[in-house]
Amino acid sequence: MSNVKGKVVVITGASSGIGESTARLLAQHGAHVVIGARRMERLEALASSIRLEGGSVEYHSLDVTRLEEMQTIVDLAQTRYGHIDVILNNAGVMPLSPLESLKVDEWNRMIDVNIRGVLHGIAAGLPVMKKQGFGQFINIASIGAYAVSPTAAVYCATKYAVRAISEGLRQEVGGDIRVTLVSPGVTESELADTISDEEARDLMKEYRRISIPASAIAQSILYAISQPAEVDVNEIVVRPTASM
């Protein structure tokens, strides 16, 4: 995977799950990873562990719902390394519930993190990549971007949006900039911990029995980054083999 060595990769939501696993894997392959999330103690521990293995990492606190914070981490990467190769818009939340529970605050949180967060990543990174004349956005959607399941209407809506935004971005900037959508199926992580609705939590517990490790998704991200510049992997769906 020599195409990954030396690449500068900004990762949102790197404090656990898929983001953490991807940061570790890319650093092992020689990338400079710039990691952000809200839980600083997790980022610090991850950065220490990556450095202990000889990897290159910078970290900064990041709330993706705030454009100025996304701008700050992109500026940090650019100042430190002079350019940015990849922005991995990975941060996401999934407080599932039936619509009739009217958990409006949780709907808004999903919209803010899962949609606005991705848009903020694009807003902060696109001018830099346009100026450089190269770059890659990797946006994490879900199999929920292809089909809606019970208790997941709003979550799926946010992921359909991420898919639509990614395809629109590809059509508009695809000449210079690669756009990759990665859609995981059920994957081991802390994602289900934010579910406050009992019915949705029980459904999810059952559903998550067949989870695949976060490293499986990290491998697909590594694959998309490591392709030659003229090859743009547009969509990857990774599910547990046992999925229906």
Active site residues: 155
Stretch that binds ligand NDP, among 23-31, 51-59, 98-106, 181-189 (CB under 6 A): 181-189
Q: Residue 81 CB, nearest distance to ligand NDP (Å)?
A: 21
Give the number of other Cβ atoms within 10 Å of residue 206's Cβ.
8
Mark residues 128-147: x for contact with ligand NDP by CB under 6 A, - for none.
------------x-x-----
For residue 195, count CB atoms less than 10 angstroms from its CB and return exposed for 0-12, middle for 13-18, buried for 19 or more.
buried
By beta-carbon proximity to ligand NDP, the closer residue of 66 and 83 is: 66
Stretch that binds ligand NDP, among 33-41, 49-57, 77-85, 126-134 (CB under 6 A): 33-41
- Considering only residues 95 to 114 of the shown chain, the ones binding ligand NDP according to CB under 6 A are 113
Stretch that binds ligand NDP, among 46-54, 74-82, 84-92, 172-180 (CB under 6 A): 84-92
Alpha-carbon gap, residue 149 to 230, rounded angstroms: 36
By beta-carbon proximity to ligand NDP, the closer residue of 62 and 225 is: 62
* 222: Cα separation from own chain's centroid: 13
Q: What is the largest CA-CA distance in the chain?
A: 50
If binding is defined by CB under 6 A, does position 64 make contact with ligand NDP?
yes
Query: In this chain, which of 10, 17, 161, 169 binds ligand NDP, going by CB under 6 A?
Result: 17
Q: Residue 233 CB, nearest distance to ligand NDP (Å)?
A: 17
* Long-range pairs, 118-122, Cβ under 8 A, ≥24: 118/64, 118/89, 118/162, 118/165, 119/165, 120/64, 120/65, 120/66, 120/67, 120/70, 121/10, 121/12, 121/64, 121/70, 121/87, 121/89, 122/87, 122/89, 122/165, 122/169
Query: In this chain, which of 9, 37, 73, 200 binds ligand NDP, going by CB under 6 A?
Result: 37
97 neighbors 153 (Cβ within 8 angstroms):
no
If binding is defined by CB under 6 A, does position 63 make contact with ligand NDP?
yes
Alpha-carbon gap, residue 136 to 230, rounded angstroms: 11
For residue 13, count CB atoms less than 10 angstroms from its CB and return exposed for 0-12, middle for 13-18, buried for 19 or more.
buried
How many chain residues bind ligand NDP (CB under 6 A)? 31
Query: In this chain, which of 4, 9, 11, 18 binds ligand NDP, going by CB under 6 A?
Result: 18
If binding is defined by CB under 6 A, does position 232 make contact with ligand NDP?
no
If binding is defined by CB under 6 A, does position 47 make contact with ligand NDP?
no
Give contact residues for ligand NDP (rule: CB under 6 A).
12-19, 37-39, 42, 62-65, 90-94, 113, 140, 142, 184, 186-187, 189-191, 214
